[in-house]
A and B are shown apart, each in its own frame.
Chain A
Amino acid sequence: MIIGEQKPLEEIKELIGDARKVLVAGCGTCVAVCSAGGEREAQILASALRLAFQVDGNSREVTEATVQRQCEWEYIDPLAEQVAESDVVVSLACGIGVQTLVERFPEAWIVPGLNTTFLGMPQEQGIWVERCQACGQCILGVTAGICPIARCSKQLLNGPCGGSHDGKCEVNPDIECAWHLIYERLRKLGKLELMLRFQPAKDWSVSRDGGPRRIVREDLRVLPET
Chain B
Amino acid sequence: MSDNGFEPQITAFMCIYCGYMAADTAGALRIPYPANVKLVKLPCTGKTDPRYILQAFEEGADGVYVVACPVGNCHHVRGNERGYARVQRTKKLLDAIGLGGERLEMFFMSGGQGQAFADAAKEMTERIRSLGPSPIKERVNELTG
Contacts and interface: CB of A to CB of B under 8 A. Distances in A.
B54 A48 contact: yes
Interface stretch (B3-11, B63-71, B92-100, B107-115): B92-100
B55 interface: yes
Contacts of A48: 54, 93, 96-97
A56 B50 CA distance: 21
Interface string B28-59: 00000000000000000000011100110110
Interface core residue of A44, A52, A54, A57 (most chain B CB under 10 Å) = A54
B135 interface: yes
A54 B94 CA distance: 13
B116 interface: no
Contacts of B136: 51, 54-55
Contacts, number: 45
Contacts of B142: 57
A54 B54 contact: no
Interface string B123-145: 00000000000011001101000
A57 B98 CA distance: 11
Nearest to A12: B96
A54 B97 CA distance: 9
A54 B98 CA distance: 10
A47 B98 contact: no
Chain A interface extent, by class? 10 to 19
A56 B98 contact: yes
B96 A55 contact: no
A125 to B, nearest CB: 10
Interface in A186-222: none
B50 A51 contact: no
A44 B58 contact: no
A37 to B, nearest CB: 15
A161 interface: no
A51 B136 CA distance: 7
A52 B96 contact: yes
A165 interface: no
Interface core residue of A9, A10, A40, A55 (most chain B CB under 10 Å) = A55
Contact of B96 (A10, A47, A56): A10
A9 B135 CA distance: 18
A8 interface: yes
A51 B50 CA distance: 13
Contacts of A8: 96
B97 A51 contact: yes
Given A44-B50, A54-B136, 8 more contacts: A8-B96, A9-B97, A44-B54, A44-B93, A47-B58, A48-B54, A55-B135, A57-B142
Interface of A: 8-10, 40, 43-44, 47-48, 50-52, 54-57, 59
21 contacts: A9-B97, A44-B50, A44-B54, A44-B93, A47-B54, A48-B93, A51-B58, A51-B98, A51-B99, A51-B136, A52-B96, A52-B97, A52-B98, A54-B136, A54-B139, A54-B140, A55-B97, A55-B98, A55-B99, A55-B136, A57-B142
